[in-house]
Structure 1
């Protein structure tokens, strides 16, 4: 069974107003003191002081993964609560904010080299790591999951607001993130050697600081023997995070089996994949998506079912077929985090009240 680990980025916000607060240093200090007693580091700093990141352990059981995500979210809220703040799983801040860049050398380098782009990256994503046996298998997987990644973005869409305004997108985070020069979909690599040569060439330009700035939608992890899916928004509900992780593992297993059976990847051009990601960001699950196999418009529920059918065998083998199917139908019926945010705003007529309601939902 392939193991799965999840990294989630959370916004730190005032517990009364919902406004982002630059409290990462203080919250991390509290978390670190507790972690030293447990001998387990969970939380990390991110680019901006208004956010916090945690990483789960590698898990093979999705029920255990769900419990760990819930525990990490609750712990993050508890640590923030000591400073009059809380955490909220939103891809962007609905309220206006002037983010503050962290003090580390790496963050200062980004600030110096990328200017306004760095300041505008107060965005929260969800990264899913799925184990692979080798870089060769990992690259074969990357080549074969490319057309399915926009579907994961549509399912996770949770960032409709930007600087106090409705962006008209379901995932505006992904549009902001794509301002980095290395972000987005990739061409077919073919072999691990070609992948690594491509990465080395990108770093050799001097535009990127190091391999950590390879911001592909999916990449080989530089730290773990995994394929890392980076396309998703942080999800409002932990159940959606688990669904995305479940489907990511099934995509990896399906792609690896295709590779071993000498089935070639779908040869869509990168330009089409960019359009598919834009469509997913714009519509979420409330409109049309580009079908991964044909790159033609199709209803979102049809495309989601196509993803399920594509990975059904892997889901059945891991025992995840029924839970994933039920979670997919629930997501299609209830909507994404983006829809939930808009519905909450319609009820409360206040962005701040909406954020606080989402914070309660995050820690629930």
Structure 2
């Protein structure tokens, strides 16, 4: 059974005002002093955020338990310094982020200017194990059209600098300011994938392989495919759903490759429009159907994904979990809907943040 790991980025905020706090270094130091977090928590681009990574898991129940534990540990370390953590993909309140000053981030700030300064955004990255680079690239080629649906399910960033962006996932719009981000064309082989990466680095625009910000890529550190389209999810159970569907997509694509099924030939340009639509609309209105590249009601597209990966979900024991989680998500709404409902009820972005602090550990 393929293992799955999740990386989540969290915002550090003041529990009273809801404003982001530049406290990552202090929180990580506190975790280290307590003898916890050395292999779990890491700093990120800005000092107002931190990241954790789960261990590889085979069972989704174990993955969900670890996500909840890591979120609670992060919250405990932040609370010890008078702060809080929240699983929001952007800050609803205005913020001037503080760049973490190591050599890598200084280089990025110098080369990319303002886009580096504003990238206080939090994502959820899912790692799914693969047997080889060749299998991994075959998977990348075949699951490309379906990734936009994961963005819609996870969308959790409607507010930006104190305003409603009119997007469900404005994080993705900020993230796409990077010139190396977004969907890819079909590679066809591991050799062509690696040649593409080498050519990107050779331009001098990209410093190293770690800055290849494709929507999905081969991990440079682990024998995995890394899927990077999702916002950090407000609720832990949504993160587990995204992970289960990601594993289903990887397994389904690998089976298609072994059966000689060719990838759909949609261009990267078409896929960019599909991911934009998912960011704009989330789970409401239409999404772009992965097979036809035509608009279709979001609920139908989401259930088409469940059908597409249905055999793999069943074989992993994830089918009941995935169907129940989708039903729950459609009823409750993704993070973007929850945030807007709090804003409509209270008229306060501060209340949006404080409510979401509670949801983060629910």
| Structure 2 equivalent of residue 266 of structure 1 | 264
Aligned pair partner of 2:302 in 280, 301, 304: 304
| Structure 2 equivalent of residue 136 of structure 1 | 134
| Structure 2 equivalent of residue 19 of structure 1 | 19
- Mark the runs of 5 or more structure 1 residues left unpaired by the alignment: none
Report whether the alignment pairs 1:95 with 2:93: yes
Q: Provide the rounded CA distance (Å) in 1 between the counterparts of 2:32 and 2:157.
A: 29
| Structure 2 equivalent of residue 216 of structure 1 | 214
Q: Deviations over 1:170-228 (max 9, x none)?
A: 00000000000000000100000000000000000000110000000000000000000
Count of residues in Structure 1 that have an aligned counterpart in Structure 2: 362
Do 1:156 and 1:240's aligned partners in 2 also have CA atoms closer than 8 Å?
yes
Q: Deviations over 1:223-274 (max 9, x none)?
A: 0000000000000000000000000000000000000000000100111100
| Structure 2 equivalent of residue 330 of structure 1 | 328
Do 2:235 and 2:361's aligned partners in 1 also have CA atoms closer than 8 Å?
no
How far has the Cα of 1:363 moved from its partner?
2.0
* TM-score of the aligned structures, taking structure 1 as reference length: 0.98
Q: Deviations over 1:5-55 (max 9, x none)?
A: 000000000011100000000000011222xx3585210000000000000
Q: How does 1:276-291 map to 2 (within 5 A)?
A: 276-291=274-289
Do 1:111 and 1:119's aligned partners in 2 also have CA atoms closer than 8 Å?
yes
How far has the Cα of 1:84 moved from its partner?
1.2
Q: Provide the rounded CA distance (Å) in 1 between the counterparts of 2:9 and 2:245.
A: 20
Do 1:154 and 1:283's aligned partners in 2 also have CA atoms closer than 8 Å?
yes
| Structure 2 equivalent of residue 117 of structure 1 | 115
| Structure 2 equivalent of residue 355 of structure 1 | 353
| Structure 2 equivalent of residue 195 of structure 1 | 193
> Residues 136 and 114 (structure 1 numbering): CA distance in 2 closer, same or farther, change over 3 Å?
same
Q: Provide the rounded CA distance (Å) in 2 between the counterparts of 1:222 and 1:32.
A: 26
| Structure 2 equivalent of residue 33 of structure 1 | 33
Q: Provide the rounded CA distance (Å) in 2 between the counterparts of 1:355 and 1:65.
A: 26
Do 2:236 and 2:361's aligned partners in 1 also have CA atoms closer than 8 Å?
no
Q: How does 1:145-294 map to 2 (within 5 A)?
A: 145-294=143-292
